[in-house]
Structure 1
Amino acid sequence: MAANQFERNGKGRKVLKELFANPEKASMIHYSCEGFYNLPDGRSPRITSIAIRKLDNAQTESFSIHQVAEIRGTGLTGAEIGPYYNEYEKAMLDAYFAFLKTNSERKFIHWNMRDQNYGFRAIEHRYRVLGGDPYIIQDDRKIDLSRLLIDLYGVSYISHPRIENLAEKNSIQALDFMTGKQEAEAFENGKHVDLHRSTLRKVDVFCNFAQRAFDKSLKTNSSWKEAHGLSWKTAIYLSKKHWDIQP
């Protein structure tokens, strides 16, 4: 029999407790990239910015195209960066993977960074395309906050788009925050600094979600009973699972 909401909530609480028991060993990660739905040639989307924020003290490491461009003495507009994009992207990812290697003990909390389309594997693939050899974070060191919140509060805890609606419900300011569509448009318009700011803002918002979920102050559309899966169905499910009561 599949696990029900009561068990998923308990599992989620355990994950949060472990993360906040050692917050110095956990970081929130997010990145921005080229829009991946409209690439005409089927190639992998180029990456423009990555942010990694420590859970304990909010210290944030960031890696971005415009930072590399500034160091190299290039202008920061899309037109000025364009001719050197692959070179600068490779340099950015060199620094990112070097950081991962020296912080291999950390757990990385993310939002839907799960596959080859968007996620850790997408970044690894892009680095290989550029000639790099990525350091691989093992899956047991990755925690998907989007799935964790579903475990904690149920699938209907907030309406889509979940990030924006959850931030609004909790009065979390969204300064510099861009939606996925807005980020894709910003990339096309060469607004790499704006993308970087959005990425930084998102790791801040996600850390806010995680902290409020941990201290049980996060506001959602789920009632206390719905989040904890308390119902007659749960009682019957648990009685059958744990005491093997025959019908």
Structure 2
Amino acid sequence: MGSELVKLRRRKDAKETLKQIERKRENYFLIHYSCESFYDIQDGRTPRITSIAIRNFYSGQTHSFSIHKTAEQKNISFEKISDAYDKLEKGMLGEYFEYLALNKGSYYLHWNMRDINYGFQAIEHRFKVLGGKPYLIDDDRKIDLARLLISLYTVRYTSHGENGRLHSICELNRITGKDMLNGKEEAAAFIDKDFIKLHRSTLRKVDVMSNILERILDGSIKTQANWIAKNGVHPIVLVELVKEHWLIASIIGCISFAGTMKTLFF
């Protein structure tokens, strides 16, 4: 299958996904989390989770799980969080997985949460390491908003920039980035034990993602993609369709043959 035809079909699938989201908003949640920077880890372990936020797309109600909140619940002072991190992280993740289990059947929109480095698997792995048994979300219930944008508008929808496409698309659409940290800032906040700042960033990001999704649905999203990319129209698609579908090729062949005969005999 030709590359442009693949893009066209991915765009069609993405639009169908958006229709499903619009019809059942209450079943869709935006999710994001912050963690220790895996670039700074020297002993090979996986990054510690610091906070997770889950926002219902319909109601806007947001549930969050964080190290400092768990510490407060367990009467552990802020200064002693590092000494009890394993215990606090396990407690926080336990609440998170309980929430997922209570909302089974829901769909989760995320931003690049795709693998063991950063994603659902990474959170699950951390809980297992700490002795917990995670509730697993089926992969077909995870929707990558970042990839959805690429399917709709191609990779040219915005530049990667210094801080990634999430920050870039916010700047392009004048969505305020207050409290939203970039990768370097999150790493610095973890080192400084500024867990509240990390928590605020996580909350802000699910809010921003909801804003972006709303604009995609109502057609007001601004991108750097050209008209062809935005509308999924490309001359090469016609050529690829002809190559793939014998019926279309036969019809075009008949039309071409009829035109040639008319030129010869009339």
User: TM range, normalised to the smaller chain?
Assistant: over 0.9
Which residue matches 2:85? Answer: 85
SS in 1 for 2:43: coil
Matched AA of 2:204: R
Which residue matches 1:12? Answer: 14
Report the Cα distance in structure 2 between the residues aligned to 1:153 and 1:83, rounded to whole angstroms.
Answer: 47
Which residue matches 1:226? Answer: 229
SS in 1 for 2:50: strand
Report the Cα distance in structure 1 between the residues aligned to 2:129 and 2:7, rounded to whole angstroms.
Answer: 42
CA offsets, 1:3-50, max 9 Å, x none? 433222211111111112101001000000000112010001000000
Pick the aligned partner of 1:191 from 176, 191, 194: 194
Pick the aligned partner of 1:68 from 34, 57, 70: 70
Measured after TM superposition, the shift of residue 244 of structure 1 is 5.2
What are the residue-to-residue correspondences of 1:130-141 with 2, within 5 Å?
130-141=130-141
Q: Which runs of 4+ in 1 moved over 6 A?
A: none
Contact 1:28 1:55 in 2 (8 A): yes
Q: TM-score, normalised by structure 2?
A: 0.89
Which residue matches 1:32? Answer: 34
Distance change in 2, residues 1:191/1:183 (3 Å) = same
Matched AA of 2:198: L
CA offsets, 1:40-80, max 9 Å, x none? 1000100000000001011001000010111122223xx42
Which residue matches 1:117? Answer: 117
Larger relative contact order, structure 1 or 2 (CA cutoff 8 Å, min sep 6)? 1
Give unpaired runs (5+ residues) of structure 1: none
Which residue matches 1:102? Answer: 102
Matched AA of 2:249: I
Contact 1:26 1:55 in 2 (8 A): yes
Report the Cα distance in structure 2 between the residues aligned to 1:4 and 1:11, rounded to whole angstroms.
Answer: 11
Give unpaired runs (5+ residues) of structure 2: 254-266
What are the residue-to-residue correspondences of 1:139-158 with 2, within 5 Å?
139-158=139-158
Larger radius of gyration between Structure 1 and Structure 2: 2
Count of aligned pairs: 245
Measured after TM superposition, the shift of residue 239 of structure 1 is 3.0
Q: Compare the two structures and name the one with the higher helix fraction.
A: 2
